[in-house]
Structure 1
Amino acid sequence: MFSANDFIPETYSASIDQGSFTWSAPSNIALVKYWGKKEHQIPANPSISFTLNHCKTITKMGFYKKENNGNFSFDLLFEGKPKEDFKPKIEKFLERIELYLPFLKDYHFTIDTQNTFPHSSGIASSASGMAALAMNFMSLEKVLQSEMTDDYCYQKASFLARLGSGSACRSVKGSVVVWGNHNNTKGSSDLFGVEFPNTIHDNFRNYQNTILLVDKGEKQVSSTVGHDLMHNHPFAERRFAQAHDNLDKLSIILQNGNLDEFIKIVESEALTLHAMMMTSMPYFILMKPNTLEIINAIWKFRNETKIPVCFTLDAGANVHVLYPKNDCKKVLQFIKDELVGYCQNGHYICDEIGFGAQLIIDN
């Protein structure tokens, strides 16, 4: 088990003057939700997520050694164009991780990033973006420290990504990822995400996730503000205990393949997340009328057809429709026939379980 101090390097055994890497990292969707955090991006409760496959960020990071190493130095591009308004977030990220990557001020970086999903699609890109950037930095450190193991590299990347965006630590490695200390999950940690340690039932292989884009606008409430509202929330402690209990139950379900019980936990978790926001002070309703229409239509369809389709939600109005690969044809027809009309401009994205970050180019 790695601790934070294990990620502070003593010396580097090699050097490099310039180069570039390109990594992709996916978004993820939590099944047991993380809501509320402590100092240093530590989660108030454990969470578990499906890693997505197609919705990802692709980040190319070029670098060269500079003469003056007194400050961070970087250019930030989004889809090839300067992205000045995002630079303060990257600057803050670099400040947080400098202790663990002491070479950061030695180089000038050009960070060029793009998403495979539409920019205004309402899918949070902070998780995939920070995970992709963390993997690029770790590729550079692995050159400087050639004896580094792959296991250490991925764990440290998850650790670093968390310091940029909490859920980003779940986008580094694995199809099903647990983040947060949990007594019954071997190797789990508040510091980084870990692959689900047990064998996953065939029912969840290639599980499908169709994202219905109900509202593609800016978030009404930032994640930071939302998490902070849990500090004095009247139901916070019970919610944190519930998350531990639900992770226990879901861990068993993922192994035994019980789809009915999977649906109960996943939908309850989604509604609990929104209930916590509706009962905070100040309070928020992030669902839209069309979100509720979709949920009711899914319940009706499931009841009539007995097809094990369910929904989950992030902290917004969009709906993630989850279902087995075997039911893909029928569920997609249902989505086209009955749910697309509730989506903004009829937009939806088809995705499925993926495998985490991937190295695309190493120069």
Structure 2
Amino acid sequence: MYKKYGNTKTHWNILTADTILKREPLMNLKGKWEYEDGLMLNGIYQIYSNTGNKEYLEYIERNLDNFIDNQGNIKSYAKEEFNLDHVNNGKIVLDIFNETKKDKYKLAADKLYQQLLDQPRTKNGVFWHKKIYPNQIWLDGIYMGSVFYAKYQYLFNISDHLDDVVHQFLGAYKATLDKNTGLCYHACDESRKAFWCDPNTGHSPHFWTRSLGWFVMAMVDVLEYLPNSLEGKQQIVGNLNSLLESLKTFADQNTNLWYQVTDEGDRPMNYLESSGSLMILNAIAKGLRKNYLSEEKWGSFLDKAYEQALLQFISIDHDYVNVNKIAHVGGLGGPQKRDGSFAYYMSEPIVANDHKGVGPFLMLSNEMEIRN
């Protein structure tokens, strides 16, 4: 953010939400049901909840209606792919159902919930990330699937599978944790067969900041849907605090932000990456508001980081807010044979205004508006 654009007191949540409404009347011109659009809509909904501006709610409903018909069928969604990414948008579907009570949204959410009940699992009972990635646990997938898993049960007063929600979080943490750094790897292949994984641990080669961002956001988000009496809830709180403490040790000391490859900030070509940094900061801000984290430990860190995030990542052009320095994608395997190497993470395009960065900025700026 060039200094003339504003400062930490600027109403970035409203400016950015208004930018989305003007710049992107349709959230997905390809007609694809994509997780990053749900991430962006989640941010818009949080700002609606904070401001009461009905234009934001109308925007969400209008865009969801491009995908969901009156029978709750979702355009371009295929259950048989068992893709956790495709469940993420279910969270905003639940919010809009709660606002409108229209049956089609409940029917759509039912379909996504049923996918989770049938989702393939590792031997340890953690969801596969996708059918095409057998036996693989990705941190991304916890955010995509398991927060919705809990939210659906919370909204409809179901408790049958809440212990399984906890198991997803604790199982993924255990499977991906590196005890030396306290960080979690992007993914783990339980079968040790993927060409990218360590043959002994099953871990992917590197720590990737956005995957860690997905995970800490998921932990903060899921807690409000779990009863305090549920066994394992406090362990999620403990894991959240431990992972964030480890992340703090790898934050850039000048900015309190994070590099694309989390633990190699001094390596040539590595760069401060916005989407992952914004996700982690959003988790910290919401965690503070919900009292999962200590203000004494995290308050000043967050305030400095937010100011630096605005300077490093945010610009304004023709009254439109831009979120810059977003790693376009990051994955493992697939047709591109992504190997999870440092070179791979450096090779992915760096883009602006991708919803994987815009969504977390909407959420973070809204949390900071509440905080200030």
TM class by smaller structure = under 0.3
Normalised to the residue count of structure 2, the TM-score between the two structures is 0.27
Query: Whose strand fraction is larger, Structure 1's or Structure 2's?
Result: 1
Query: Whose helix fraction is larger, Structure 1's or Structure 2's?
Result: 2
Bigger Cα Rg: 1
